[in-house]
Structure formats: structure tokens, C-alpha cells
Amino acid sequence: MISGVQWITFTAHGDSRGSLIAIENNKDIPFPIRRIYYIYGSSYDAVRGKHAHKDLNQVLICVSGSCDILLDNGKEKETVHLDSRDKGIYIYGFIWREMMHFSEDCVLLALVDRPYDPEDYVYDHDQLLRLTESEDKK
């Protein structure tokens, strides 16, 4: 996994009635959750995201179906496939992300440590590269 991203595995509890996964702040998620949103109804060809965050912690979990996430920290790129309700990716660095290849039944859940702030977004990939280069020179 590239620097700034790691897998998180959640504990599923279940019996003949079905399964349950409980997620708690600062226990299962390494930050206090301040915002929750989910993406659904996206076509296979749709590309969502296409941005980085300057200062944001986020966990993405595919609670239904599957999708791919392109992750780019300015030095390394990796595409991960999310298709499990008990695994998510924790994105904690200055990481470009693109969500794509959504299955018809995909529901992608995001748990975030901050309220929405348009100033936190970087929509220009070249700006991400310039900012990561300037950090390397310090």
C-alpha cells in the first residue's frame, strides 16, 4: 500500500440471523467521525473524486457491491479494489483519489474527521505534484 493509505479490517459478528459490523470512533476508526456520506447509483464508467485533501482523514468502505479506488501520493500510485463490507481503506495523507468501476449495486461509505470545507480540496493533479515536490525540498 502506498504511503498515506492503509487497510482497516472490521470485526463481523454474526449467527444464523445474519451479520453485524459495529464501528466506533477512535477504536475501529483512528479518528473522531465528524461527517458521514455515501455514494451510490454511479455507473461503471463514472469517475468520482478526482481530488486530494490538504488536511483530512477518511475511511472508505464498500458496504454493497464493489468499486476501484486510484490512490496517488505524488510519488506512488496504486489502485485498490473494494468489495468487502469488513474492510476499508484509511486515507490520511495528501492523497489524490479517484473512485471508478462501480458495480450496479455499489454503495461506497465515507467516514470523515471534518465537516465539509471547500478550501480543503485540491482539484488540480498538477498542484498536488507541485505541493508534494515542495514538501520534499523542505
Active site residues: 51
Least confident of 15-19, 65-69, 122-126, 129-133: 129-133
Architecture of domain 5-137: Sandwich (2.60)
Q: Tell me what pLDDT residue 137 has.
A: 65
Cα torsion 24, 27, 32, 35: sign? negative
Q: Tell me what pLDDT residue 128 has.
A: 84
CA separation for the pair 104, 97 (Å, rounded):
21
Q: Is a pLDDT exceeding 70 seen at residue 138?
A: no
Q: Tell me what pLDDT residue 115 has.
A: 97
Give the residue extent of every domain in the chain: 5-137
Please, are residues 10 and 19 in contact by the beta-carbon 8 Å criterion?
no
Each residue of 47-100: pLDDT tens digit? 999 999 999 999 999 999 999 999 999 999 999 999 999 999 999 989 999 999
Q: Tell me what pLDDT residue 101 has.
A: 98
Q: Which percentage of the chain shows pLDDT scores above 70?
A: 97
- In three state form, how does the secondary structure of 69-128 look? EEEECCCCEEEEEECCCCEEEEECCCCEEEEECCCCCCEEEEEECCCCCHHHEECCHHHH
